[in-house]
Amino acid sequence: MSSGSPDKRRKMESALNQLKKHTVVVADTGDFNAIDEYKPQDATTNPSLILAAAKMPAYQQLVDQAIKYGMAKGGSEEEQVANTMDKLFVSFGLEILKKVPGRVSTEVDARYMQTYNKVLLMTQDVKCLLLEEKHGVHCNMTLLFSFAQAVACAEAKVTLISPFVGRILDWYKENTDRKSYEPHEDPGVVSVTKIYNYYKKFGYSTVVMGASFRNTGEVKALAGCDLLTISPGLLAELSQDHSAVTEMLSVEKAKACDLEKVHLDEKTFRWEHNEDRMGVEKLSDGIRKFAADAVKLETMIKEKILSVKNGQ
């Protein structure tokens, strides 16, 4: 007896499973349970996600272990907190690696980007060259909003970039008269599509991972992108959605695009990025927000360290 036509079987398949045929699906979370449920290939975390997870009772053991480690390392209160933070981020990453077959991207505290004593915006390519080529550390350049940033990352041979689709949309809704967009017109989708096509047309090794989605329409409009990191809420929606998902991005389409190759020295980079008001404003805003959540996490850790000391 026939199990049904191919079309009928396809309609019964979730949008999430269809998406996985075109794109590597990544879980954007620090919640292990969500990772178990949706079976992504990779996972991403950042200070905001770690802060949220660290407040959950289920993960207090990891927090306690990190505090014990930080205190055992000794030093000033600031040094103990810093060591605890490092341990906590690594511990979450290691636990997530037990849940995914691929890799975990752990975002570094934005305040650490001053290590090279220059502004993050101007030196991200230098920093990545040092980490990628000299130390073998694969870099995911996040908070990416402008095309100039994307070109600089590709020329620095960064492993991975994360353009923030939803935050780009947020800016246009807040700063223009237009308040709604069809998925294919969404400014964030348009930005990622251009970056993907540019990379593939000119043979860059850097891969593109769309991030920070506001709705499943944005996700499906980027089917075919190298990777898409998606929140548990949207993963749940996609798992319940049985509409067709069509490959929108491909190497073949990219090769046929009418794009010209550009090279950005520091002077040109400064100008091109500065000309992108959205990129400038969202980059600085993103750094501030991630740094603010890192400070909240530090404060929580300080309080826990003090509590442990008072209990001794």
Structure tokens at 118: 């220059």
Strands 104-106 and 42-45 come out as parallel
Interatomic CA distance for residues 55 and 77, integer angstroms: 21
For the annotated catalytic residues, the residue numbers are: 28, 107, 118, 142, 164
Interatomic CA distance for residues 190 and 22, integer angstroms: 18
Interatomic CA distance for residues 265 and 270, integer angstroms: 9
Q: Which residues contact 110 (CB under 8 A, 6 or more apart)?
A: 47, 120, 143, 287, 290, 291, 294
Of 97, 102, 93, nearest in space to 53 by CA: 93
- Longest CA span, the chain: 73
